[in-house]
Structure 1
């Protein structure tokens, strides 16, 4: 349930009533601060039964009278607001000059309602008093707001709106009133628990909620219903506002929400529109964020002085205008002055090796990359020339496959090979439902990566099948024109496994591999394939699979020795006993091990917090765990299969097992199927629901 943003406290000018509402307001605002709701509860005081015939008493009870020991209600509310909202100053004079409900004895009896009976709306009527208060309640962010010009005033004259406000009367209890209906649906995507992301998200929520239906993920219980709600809200949104800071660009949930919005926009005539806001972040977007965001407009926020301008810019963008960074030149100017990410100082033992954030593909020169025995084999294989090679890198999600692929590509470049890298998760969803556009896009994309002129239309005019056209295009145009070795590196190939043309595509790749034996030009082509899902269960004829020929590298979790070595590279934030504890918790999960060591080495959390808050939604792994829920919630078979694994250590459906293993959630030991690590077992046992 969405709790109210505004609390109206109605009081009469006497000590009992005034003391009661002041205490209530203080308790209510304190409770809101301690809750999971990020929004502050804004109190609107409403003095009532003000007797116009007693001007002296009216002044004393408003401004105070020390001789009569009367503390004025205006001064008391100003002091209260400065305390609970951390204001340096607060002046309610303009507010209380307009907001006082006068006493009219007639309405003390019976059921008459002044606003329905009075024909006059002059300044002495109750109707005017109620209207004046309602306008401020609806249009002001808070009582000390001086009524800045409202950019939506013209629209308000043409549309009807509603908004919830909780009205509290010290003598009559509670009631809910509705006044406004929001015009647009907006989803705010941000990283929880970090600054400035969370405070800015709240300010955007407050500003836009006055005129729109805005969703912010902060109050729901995490679990499958939570993930369903996130997807439903993004699907229904007109806009997705994404806050991108040095920390949030590495958030799996922020990336997941952007990915979903991007793919939904392809299906839903461009909605939701993504509005990226860089929060004092000047670095180029890393892949895959760059693929989603570089081609659209951005906004930039540097510090608190920019907040008002940013809110106006968002209001204008929602009204149909563009964000300010709308040209390649303006974007380039922003990222030219890139500043390093600021993190807490590392432990003394780690000073000589600057820490690296654990997210994303690792740099080829990273000192934190853990080499496995097969790495050397992969690098030496790709550097072979004159024969053509096929390398398949397999392993669950976040095992280091893409980082090994980057090293493989780098090794190929050093011996003069051209490289074309295709990430299949970037294929349009429409292309993945129809072979004709898929094969055309594949050829067009490959041509673009090689910076060659496209001849796709000419080859597609031939009366041949898609695989034949694609093969001729590669053989007779791309390889022939290049005249030099080419590495075709393909990541996230599991994106094709659910298509009805997967056998055609993969058998085509296998035929390219086989053709090296009979046609010299195919020896110019190396294939580097990366997949997280076991392909053997999804390809009908294994003799047509490209994944079981050439060099096949199956990545596994870190051993204890590899994890201990990585701990040393981080300055040994964990002692020997804690290393064992981390191994028991994570089972050598490469990404989670790096994250744990990074957070403790940079002193962002203590070791006690690392283990004590491991399965908390806002803990060290919360973003990662929530992302898995988000990706799995609508896949009933996977949820049921994973629950079988957690409860009984079995998975009856072999295809479900391979998908769960590809997602990095389970592992097999002999005939027993286990959660990949104890962290997953503990968290998903609590949060998964059928």
Structure 2
């Protein structure tokens, strides 16, 4: 290695000679950063240089002696996203820590007035009062928040509110918001509530021929005739990472330009690891693989893809967008993925694979004994329905049911009889449910759960009572008590049920919702079993 150079893929330090400006991106961002209450949004796919630009902005802020806080959302634990309250407390505490201030969060937090108001009070009455200089608040990898739609909606609305507050409240003029994200924002937001239609919007472009030529010069490569630049850009376009990787290896004399160009046709050598990583991401999603297979093999760019697929392919930096037209980002991608995705006669039989996956998914999600959904399926479905009901603002009901005195049955008649009993009870519960969107699952042992989207508390109580009566009326055969007695006996069982119903929002977590139904079930047990109890905390739609 001739001298110490930042490896391709790593963010370039603010003073790196290899940082190439892309006018007017930097000058516009620097100017906006100086404006009180400003908001800057910077969008680019992966490996386009967002992290390096972020270091440049941090340096500019430090030159002006601004306070700088950087929040990276990919470092947030999943548990933090359980509720808006958890998330905003985590956010506020991190800002305080980076400003070297004591948290004192509980002095300003009041859940009765809501977490968004509490967070605003905390910033306005504490954090911004404690600092003398403007605050540059850099929010990196905002995409990670998009996965949690309700939290994303509330958080983005809050950021928009802070930006608007700067127009009328002097203390909020201290704040400069800078958001970095990789994809378009597909979170449904009122146009007057989104921070993504205000402030300065910047999209990082790919390198131009002139910029690649200048970067080659800084790598001490004599490419002034520009033909070498054009040859390289034919394969990799102006993708900053691919350009840096090529120039880095040429500078280190690991490969010659003819060898590099030859290897581009084979997707090998310096790009093999990078391309394989992209391929592995695609192969984890059959629908995404099929979509990109269409893109790389289409004779024209007029392809019909869903917004969600475009969202994913764009965030990976795999496509160029022009209105509703999509094409591979560069020729290297086209050639490599044509071969790797096994197109035309060698294509993966996606339809057959999809059917096989559906069969496998069915086996994975069904409880073998009772033939209703298993715990895994329940956990996944509950999260999905929680997010869905949050989005459409409809009620979600949850019923937890537990057989009464089932241990006595097992101890008396044996586990084989107990298994038979569980199967019949499960099928009896399932017979009550008519809506295909509703789910019956075995939670564990003799405990069952029901997920009822778009069902309020009154309707959930009706369903729970029908289940209770159906189970109670069931006559279950048991084996003879002794070998001498050949008579087949019949028994009946009862069941206790707990019910909770809510229209999900960021104010309560999924865990709190589940625990409320669980507590209601145990209250039914405590009051004598064979009954249904509605949670006193979550009872949306119940008219007392």
TM-score bin, normalised by smaller chain: 0.5 to 0.7
Other structure's SS at 2:179 match: strand
Q: Which runs of 5+ in 2 are unaligned?
A: 342-347, 351-544
1:361 and 1:613, CA in 2 relative to 1: closer, same or farther beyond 3 A? Answer: same
Residue from 30, 43, 53 that aligns with 1:379: 30
Give yes or no for the alignment of 1:531 onto 2:181.
yes
**1:617 deviation in Å?**
6.7
- Equivalent positions of 1:558-597 (< 5 A) are 558-572=207-221, 576-597=226-247
Other structure's SS at 2:166 match: helix
Once the two structures are superposed, residues 580-612 of structure 1 have per-residue CA deviations (whole angstroms, 9 ceiling, x without a partner) of: 111110111011101101101110122233122
1:612 and 1:424, CA in 2 relative to 1: closer, same or farther beyond 3 A? Answer: same
Once the two structures are superposed, residues 90-146 of structure 1 have per-residue CA deviations (whole angstroms, 9 ceiling, x without a partner) of: xxxxxxxxxxxxxxxxxxxxxxxxxxxxxxxxxxxxxxxxxxxxxxxxxxxxxxxxx
Other structure's SS at 2:278 match: helix
Give the Cα–Cα distance (whole angstroms) in 1 for the partners of residues 122 and 332 of structure 2.
48
1:484 and 1:571, CA in 2 relative to 1: closer, same or farther beyond 3 A? Answer: closer
Once the two structures are superposed, residues 495-553 of structure 1 have per-residue CA deviations (whole angstroms, 9 ceiling, x without a partner) of: 11111321101010000000111111100111011111111x32332321212211111
**1:679 deviation in Å?**
1.1
Give the Cα–Cα distance (whole angstroms) in 2 for the partners of residues 429 and 375 of structure 1.
34
**1:437 deviation in Å?**
2.0
RMSD across aligned C-alpha pairs, in angstroms?
A: 2.0
Counterpart for residue 605 of structure 1? 255
Residue from 109, 114, 121 that aligns with 1:472: 121
Give yes or no for the alignment of 1:446 onto 2:95.
yes
1:614 and 1:432, CA in 2 relative to 1: closer, same or farther beyond 3 A? Answer: farther
Once the two structures are superposed, residues 249-274 of structure 1 have per-residue CA deviations (whole angstroms, 9 ceiling, x without a partner) of: xxxxxxxxxxxxxxxxxxxxxxxxxx
- Bigger mean CA deviation after superposition, 654-663 or 399-408: 654-663
Once the two structures are superposed, residues 312-371 of structure 1 have per-residue CA deviations (whole angstroms, 9 ceiling, x without a partner) of: xxxxxxxxxxxxxxxxxxxxxxxxxxxxxxx2x48xxxxxxx644222111111111111
Other structure's SS at 1:613 match: helix
Residue from 59, 62, 72 that aligns with 1:423: 72
Give the Cα–Cα distance (whole angstroms) in 2 for the partners of residues 551 and 670 of structure 1.
21
Counterpart for residue 296 of structure 2? 646
Counterpart for residue 400 of structure 1? 49
Q: Which runs of 5+ in 1 are unaligned?
A: 1-342, 347-353
Counterpart for residue 463 of structure 1? 112
Counterpart for residue 147 of structure 1? none
Counterpart for residue 466 of structure 2? none
Q: Answer with 1 or 2: which has the greater Rg.
A: 1
Give yes or no for the alignment of 1:685 onto 2:335.
no
Q: How many residues align?
A: 337
Give the Cα–Cα distance (whole angstroms) in 1 for the partners of residues 199 and 290 of structure 2.
36
Query: Do the aligned partners of 1:382 and 1:389 also contact (CA within 8 Å) in 2?
Result: yes
Q: TM-score, normalised by structure 2?
A: 0.59
**1:639 deviation in Å?**
2.4
Counterpart for residue 161 of structure 1? none
Q: TM-score, normalised by structure 1?
A: 0.47
Relative contact order (C-alpha < 8 Å, sep 6+): which is higher? 2
**1:640 deviation in Å?**
2.7
**1:651 deviation in Å?**
4.2
- Equivalent positions of 1:512-523 (< 5 A) are 512-523=162-173
Other structure's SS at 1:544 match: coil
Query: Do the aligned partners of 1:642 and 1:651 also contact (CA within 8 Å) in 2?
Result: no
Give the Cα–Cα distance (whole angstroms) in 2 for the partners of residues 580 and 651 of structure 1.
31
- Bigger mean CA deviation after superposition, 518-527 or 476-485: 476-485
Query: Do the aligned partners of 2:6 and 2:12 also contact (CA within 8 Å) in 1?
Result: no
1:626 and 1:462, CA in 2 relative to 1: closer, same or farther beyond 3 A? Answer: same
